[in-house]
């Protein structure tokens, strides 16, 4: 019996400790979070959703969209990037030669000369052109200064890196602050479909979203997304005319003649929610910068 009591006590302490660590502490640390500020701006973050978008989050929950979609962008690191925006009166070939000579003569630039040369290989003057992308911020400021002196305009940025970012799913990693107003928070843990944290930036058109919900393969050829036809109603056209919000569908996805597809309120709400997903503001804890220096 003595072992029994000690085992019970040990289990109690173990569970209590894990509850304290993974429930109580996060509640104290994150549960009291409030709006933060967007970097280099007075705007608050996150934005409150309004109207249909608020209701749309509940449609997203109800249909179980999070079973296949994440709302969370990962980032592996950050890089300093220098981009040429204007070359003034120079010829691209001359500028290339000038930059190559700079890179081989200035001590601070020597380590990066190969990277810069590789970026410029095959460049015919199209702008903007990424000149340097890497860890070293002295290269960025030095090159920017030297090019400014000859009348070439550049922009320096800090950008997030990683496969998710390269796929265009976001400009920075997702952070706790992004989900402040979500109830429930639906991060998802399977990417059978693409990440949706910035779908509102990538596909801001409500009609595109509605058509995609009704017939995914009419817009994305190999999509595995199930069609959500139950969010739409197929009805007879009144006097042979389309209603105002009827979907314009390609022929093979359209219903038979004389009928039209009209989104229900839920479909409209879901589309409004998707369009509202724009987690791309620069924050203190996810410091990608719009432009740190324009020279």
Outline where DSSP puts E strands in 36-152.
36-37, 44-45, 77-86, 129-134
The 10 Å Cβ neighbour count of residue 72 is 22
Which CB atom, from 53 or from 103, has the smaller least distance to another protein? 53
Which CB atom, from 31 or from 122, has the smaller least distance to another protein? 31
* Run of H or E residues at 165: helix 163-166
Which CB atom, from 139 or from 281, has the smaller least distance to another protein? 281
CB of 81 to another protein, least distance (A): 16
CB of 90 to another protein, least distance (A): 33
Is the distance from CB of 287 to CB of 152 less than 8 angstroms?
A: no
Which CB atom, from 176 or from 248, has the smaller least distance to another protein? 176
What is the Cα–Cα distance from 244 to 254, expressed in whole angstroms? 16
CB of 96 to another protein, least distance (A): 26
- Name the residue among 159, 163, 170 with its Cα closest to residue 202: 170
What is the Cα–Cα distance from 72 to 277, expressed in whole angstroms? 11
Which CB atom, from 180 or from 206, has the smaller least distance to another protein? 180
What is the Cα–Cα distance from 247 to 41, expressed in whole angstroms? 39
Is the distance from CB of 279 to CB of 174 less than 8 angstroms?
A: yes
Burial class of residue 265 in the structure, from the number of CB atoms within 10 Å of its CB (0-12 exposed, 13-18 middle, 19+ buried): exposed
Which CB atom, from 17 or from 127, has the smaller least distance to another protein? 17
CB of 43 to another protein, least distance (A): 18
CB of 33 to another protein, least distance (A): 6
What is the Cα–Cα distance from 118 to 164, expressed in whole angstroms? 24
CB of 122 to another protein, least distance (A): 18
């Amino acid at each position: 019996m003595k072992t029994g009591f000690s085992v019970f006590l040990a289990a109690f302490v173990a569970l209590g400790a894990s509850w304290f660590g993974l429930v109580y502490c996060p509640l104290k640390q994150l549960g009291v979070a409030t709006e933060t500020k967007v970097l280099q701006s007075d705007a608050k973050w996150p934005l409150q959703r309004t109207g249909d978008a608020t209701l749309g989050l509940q449609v997203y929950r109800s249909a179980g969209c999070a079973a296949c979609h994440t709302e969370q962008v990962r980032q592996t690191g950050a890089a300093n990037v220098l981009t040429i925006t204007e070359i003034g009166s120079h010829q691209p070939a001359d500028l290339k030669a000038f930059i190559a000579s700079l890179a081989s003569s200035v001590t601070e630039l020597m380590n990066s000369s190969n990277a810069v040369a590789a970026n410029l290989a095959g460049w015919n003057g199209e702008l903007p052109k990424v000149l340097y992308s890497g860890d070293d911020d002295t290269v960025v400021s030095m090159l920017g200064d030297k090019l400014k002196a000859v009348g070439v305009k550049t922009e320096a940025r800090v950008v997030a890196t990683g496969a998710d970012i390269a796929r265009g799913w976001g400009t920075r990693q997702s952070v706790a602050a992004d989900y402040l107003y979500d109830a429930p928070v639906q991060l998802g843990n399977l990417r059978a479909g693409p990440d949706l944290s910035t779908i509102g930036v990538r596909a801001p058109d409500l009609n595109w979203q509605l058509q995609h919900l009704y017939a995914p393969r009419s817009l994305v050829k190999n999509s595995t997304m199930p069609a959500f036809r139950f969010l739409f109603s197929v009805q007879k056209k009144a006097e042979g005319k389309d209603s105002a919000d009827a979907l314009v569908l390609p022929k093979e996805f359209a219903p038979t003649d004389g009928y039209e597809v009209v989104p229900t309120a839920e479909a409209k709400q879901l589309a409004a929610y998707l369009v509202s997903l724009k987690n791309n503001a620069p924050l203190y804890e996810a410091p990608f910068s719009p432009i740190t220096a324009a020279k």
